[in-house]
Amino acid sequence: MTLKDYLNTNDRFAADNGMFLTQVTPDFSVAEMTVDEHHLNGAGICQGGALFTFADLAIAAAMNACGNVTLGLENTMTFHHPARVGDRLTARASVTCDHRKIPFCRVEITNAGGTLIASGTSLGYRKADAMPFDSLM
């Protein structure tokens, strides 16, 4: 099983919310989702927690591509533009400092028109435990 398939199957919260990985390479990943009614907050735009979960899926793939279980220590998100029902979103995460224990990752979420919806950073903690996947591709 690939890391992409493993996370698409086993990150049940992301899967239940229509979020899935489309690409995973060493230190990089791409995820996609379409904003649906159940993603909306009281203001009628995509809820920040939904965007955070979406970014977290992409971050998890990029950071765990090394083969070791890597968990989030600290995450930041900045919301730049609203996402609305029907918007097709893409999250791109890249590890910019692949420290053996404390990797650092950046993520950007854009819509189909290329507008930056949200961006963030993540600091991870890399354990000695192996991730249960056979390959990245």
Provide, rounded to the nearest whole percent, the portion of the chain with pLDDT above 90.
95
Mean pLDDT of the chain: 96
**Average pLDDT in the 120-128 region?**
97
How high is the pLDDT of residue 136? 73
Confidence of residue 128 (pLDDT cuts 50, 70, 90): very high
Summarize pLDDT for 19-28 with one digit per residue, the tens: 999 999 999 9
How high is the pLDDT of residue 135? 81
Cα separation, 33 vs 50, in Å, equals 10
